[in-house]
Structure 1
Amino acid sequence: MTAMRNARLDAKTYRTYVDILKKELVPALGCTEPIAVAYAAAYATAVLKQRPERVEVERAEAWCSGNIVKNVKGVVVPKTGGLKGIDAAAIAGIVGGDAKAGMQVLEAVKDGQQAEIRRLLTEGFCRTHLLLGDETLHIIVKVFAGDASAEVSIKGSHTNICRVVRDGEVLVDRDTAAKQVAADEPSLLNVRDIITFADTVKLEDIAPIIAEQIDKNTRISEEGLSGHYGVGVGRTLLKYAGTDLRTRAKARAAAGSDARMSGCALPVIINSGSGNQGMTASLPVITYAEELEVGHDRLYRALVLSNLIAIHQKTSIGKLSAFCGAVSAACGAGAAITYMLGGDYEAISRTITNAIGNVGGIVCDGAKPSCAAKIASAVDAAIMAHHLAVEGQAFSDGEGLVTGDVEGTIANIGQVASKGMKSTDLEILRLMVGG
């Protein structure tokens, strides 16, 4: 152990890191973009019905930014009987959603309501529109019943209600809230302090969050391996690539995505607003911890590091972009594997550099079954990055986007993903929707 590993964070930074984990690692049922649409719709319905007479919604409109459209188009909305799309998600939220449940809004949908959801979808009950603008995560849902109406807007993060209107009266208007959150706490993240935090955090401060991540993400992974979801990336890896540690780590993460992208009604603990990223940041680490028999304490600390490394990268990239978030999450997992094996700051930094210097070019073309394959590829690259780091090897300063400092490399990738790939994102959306 080096002197750095004996360091401690100041009280403010320590509490900020704990708060980041509590805010980012939350349960969600279903892919987070359609769930955010369902949440907005359920919330709007609740606002509309806060009237003396109980009214039923006659029609709805959903306005979504391009990245929401992209990430809803190809993924199954849970509890709908296999339906896909923004309108299906909105209708499910209206018919049976519970806005009080947040990202588990559709847990309340009953099997008997699926027929009604499908009927309303067929009747064109919900009209969907593309919302133009610079905000990548932006949803507006409007519901109407006779002369009554309600409108709910979400911006910046999946549950950030920034505007609520009922019958033309503005009840809530905090349009900048998400940007303020984005500009505050996560900006304190850096690799060196993340390692220090992982070393010194009191387990009782983070144990409930991490325990829930282990439990829920393991369950959906097991479901993906035992059931038939998507194209079965996880099952196929184990069938043809063997059951060695590296393959198991990839397969377990991929299997969770297999199930989730195909509508499995099991919740996961997300990371940076994404279930796929939450599973990718955790399941490979859990798999390695079991094989290495590192114990409860070391696993929890490794998962703290993995999650925070992933969040650190996503802070500059943004919640949604044309950059595949599985890369950032897998990078966190690779760093955590190095950490579990006793790697110091330099070794962990090499792992991060090697991972994002390799597969930083995977594009996000929406949430769908093929995300499982991208996760497997990203995890494979992260494990190779770990092996190279253990050998003392890392890509060098000036090689592409790599700099001599890990924070500079992370910043470069963030710049490319958030600004450089804006035109890529628009072209992907154009091709996907045929515009």
Structure 2
Amino acid sequence: MNYTVKEILHLEVAPALGCTEPVAIALATAAAASVINNERPDHIEIWVDPNIYKNGLAVIIPGTGGLNGLDTAAALGALCGDPALGLEVLEPVTDEGVNAACKFKNENKVAVNLLQDQKGIYVRALLTYKDHVTEAIIEGVHDNITSLTMDSLPVTDSPLVKRTQAEKADVFKLEDFIKKLSLDDLIDMINDLDKDDFTFLKEGITYNMRLADYGLKHGSGLGVGLALERLARLKLLTRDMILSARIITSAAADARMGGIKLPAMSSGGSGNHGLTAILPIYAVSKFVDCDEKTLLEAIALSHLVTAYVKAQTGRLSAVCGCSVAAGAGATAGTTYLMGGTSSQMAGAITNLTEDLAGIICDGAKSGCALKLATAAGTAVQAALFAIHGVNVHSTDGIIGTSPEQTMQNIGTLSTQGMIDTDRTILKIMLEKHFAATNI
């Protein structure tokens, strides 16, 4: 099956409120709770794969005033979430709902289980009521509800399962399709963008700049973006296109990882990927002579390249996807924006990969703003280098003879070479977590 650029954007790019790992947990419990109306469960039990656990462990949940935890996400989803909103399931959460979820959790009514050997995205939520038991399962993609049952019987009339299964089945087929494409194929696709696609791409800028503006105004999260902005004002750093990309991308991550209740336009199943795929290109557009159409085409290319790399690496891995996947998208898009050729875009991707391939993913948290600042700045730098003839050679390390092979090598590194790394990262995080909770 072949996919159009419109279909790829529809499947890979969407608004997401909060980090998508705790959101996936909240979506699962909200879906299970939706089977029984107007009744609070007596107990919630969830089972998650290692990467959902890793990314959901420490990140702040939006609208909670700074709370985190997989158990918190589970309680919020069951008591307050609207599963019809997909990755924006926590939009209805209020202060009253947060208090109720905390009380529920503090009464030891939420149990979290780690499935150490589970591969790929997996969330199972089991809600126990006085007379019934409901269950929801999410697999493969953060909002892909593959099963919804009550008392072990399928809930056949649920629009949730019918809708998500129809949509997400296409995601897996899309990954098989996009893996077979070349960079030139992806570049050619942007010629098919229509008015609705441009409107959608422009919305992505609006969503993500709203987060950036909030982060710069309030110094949310770690405050990386605001710190860089102040350093530029003090003339301790030069406000060039690289620094501008770093400022707005990290500021948006500050706000998002700080739990601000504003959605991001995600890419490849991740809000932070969406920030990285869009904002560096938008920052560069302020420094070069380009029209809006070219800017939006560059962002579309960024999403396509991000999707290509994610198809190689998997949705979650030990490698920081903002660096190697969305970073690759951003550098390709930036090169396109500056009038670069396809060979220069290939060089930019290779340059970025050589620079950032070693960055690990140690879970979602406020510190992600530092990694997004690095990815954004490096994406712009890699593009500038490529345009001016600086290109890493295929004899270097994991770099391939083509951009496609380089990106495939990143996939091999992620899915085969760093399995033990991922386990070790999670082991360190768990030891820290349980040491802190036992104090």
TM-score (norm 2): 0.91
Within a 5 Å distance, the mapping from 1:316-331 to structure 2 comes to: 316-327=312-323, 328-331=325-328
Is 1:165 the equivalent of 2:149? Answer: yes
Measure the CA separation in 2 of the matches of 1:407 and 1:233: 33
Q: Give the 3-state SS of the residue equivalent to 2:48 in structure 1.
A: strand
Give the corresponding residue for 1:282: 278
SS in 1 for 2:71: helix
For each residue in 1:82-109, what CA deviation from the matched residue of structure 2 results, as whole angstroms up to 9, or x when unmatched? Answer: 2101100011111111010111111011
- Pairwise CA distance, 1:177: 4.5
Mapped partners of 1:130, 1:189: distance in 2: 36
Q: Deviations over 1:276-333 (max 9, x none)?
A: 0100010010111122241111111010111111111111101000000111212211
Partner-residue secondary structure (3-state), 2:287: helix
User: What is the aligned partner in structure 2 of residue 8 from structure 1?
Assistant: none
2:30 corresponds in structure 1 to 42
What is the aligned partner in structure 2 of residue 90 from structure 1?
Answer: 74
In the other structure, the counterpart of 2:109 is 125
- The correspondence of residues 8-23 of structure 1 with structure 2, limited to 5 A, is 13=2, 15-23=3-11
**C-alpha separation in 2, matches of 1:295 and 1:348:** 19
Q: d(CA) in 2 for partners of 1:134 and 1:92?
A: 24
Q: Which residue in the other structure is 1:106 paired with?
A: 90
Q: Secondary structure at the match of 1:164?
A: strand
1:205 to partner: Cα distance: 4.4
Equivalent pairs, count: 418
> How far is the alpha carbon of 1:133 from its aligned partner?
2.7
Query: Shift of residue 23 of structure 1?
Result: 1.1
Deviation per residue, 1:368-390 (Å, 9 max, x gap): 01111011112222222112101
8 Å contact kept, 2:40–2:79: no
Cα distance in structure 1, aligned partners of 2:88 and 2:76? 12
Cα distance in 2, alignment partners of residues 247 and 180 from structure 1: 37
Change (3 A) 1:430 1:188: same
AA paired with 1:326?
A: C
CA contact (8 A) 1:258 1:372 kept: yes
Gaps of 5+ in 1: 1-11
Does the CA contact (< 8 Å) of 1:233 and 1:254 recur in 2?
yes
Q: Secondary structure at the match of 1:115?
A: helix
Match of 2:125 in 1: 141
SS at match of 1:298: helix
Task: Quote the Cα distance in structure 2 between the aligned partners of 1:398 and 1:297.
Answer: 37
Residue 178 of structure 1 deviates from its aligned partner by 7.9
| Worse-superposed segment, 177-186 or 351-360 | 177-186
TM-score (norm. length: structure 1): 0.92
CA contact (8 A) 2:57 2:70 kept: yes
What displacement does 1:146 show? 1.0
| Equivalent residue, structure 2, for 1:25 | 13
Question: Superposed, which structure 2 residues align to 1:300-311 within 5 Å?
Answer: 300-311=296-307
Name the counterpart of 1:9: none
CA RMSD of aligned residues (A): 1.9
Structure 1 runs of 4+ aligned residues shifted over 6 Å read 172-176
Structure 1 counterpart of 2:189 = 197
Distance 2:155 2:176 in 1: 26
* Partner Cα separation in structure 2 for residue 413 and residue 292 of structure 1: 31
- Cα 1:206–1:185 shift into 2, 3 Å: farther
Q: CA deviation digits over 1:154-197, x for unaligned, max 9? A: 01100111122211213479799488436544334431111112
1:312 to 303, 308, 314: 308
Match of 1:426 in 2: 423
Q: CA deviation at 1:111?
A: 2.4
Tell me the amino acid that sits aligned with residue 30 of structure 1: G
Contact 1:135-1:156 within 8 A present in 2 as well: no
Partner SS, residue 216 of structure 2: helix
C-alpha distance after superposition, 1:57-99 (max 9, x if no partner): 1110111111011001111111222210110001111111101
Question: How many percent identity over aligned positions?
Answer: 34
How far apart are the structure 2 equivalents of 1:152 and 1:105?
15
Deviates more, 1:289-298 or 1:28-37: 289-298
Matches within 5 A, 1:52-71: 54-71=38-55
2:61 corresponds to 1:77: yes
SS in 1 for 2:416: helix
**Structure 2 unaligned residues grouped into runs of 5+:** 232-236, 435-439
Q: Are 1:381 and 2:378 counterparts?
A: yes
Can you list the C-alpha shifts for 1:311-367, whole angstroms capped at 9, x where unaligned?
Answer: 111111010000001112122111111111111111010000000111100000000
Structure 1 contact 232–258 (Cα < 8 Å) conserved: yes
Measure the CA separation in 2 of the matches of 1:202 and 1:181: 21
Offset, 1:118: 1.6
Question: How far apart are the structure 1 equivalents of 2:353 and 2:137?
Answer: 34
| Maintained 8 Å contact 1:65/1:130 | yes
Question: In structure 2, how many angstroms separate the alpha carbons of the residues matched to 1:215 and 1:42?
Answer: 28
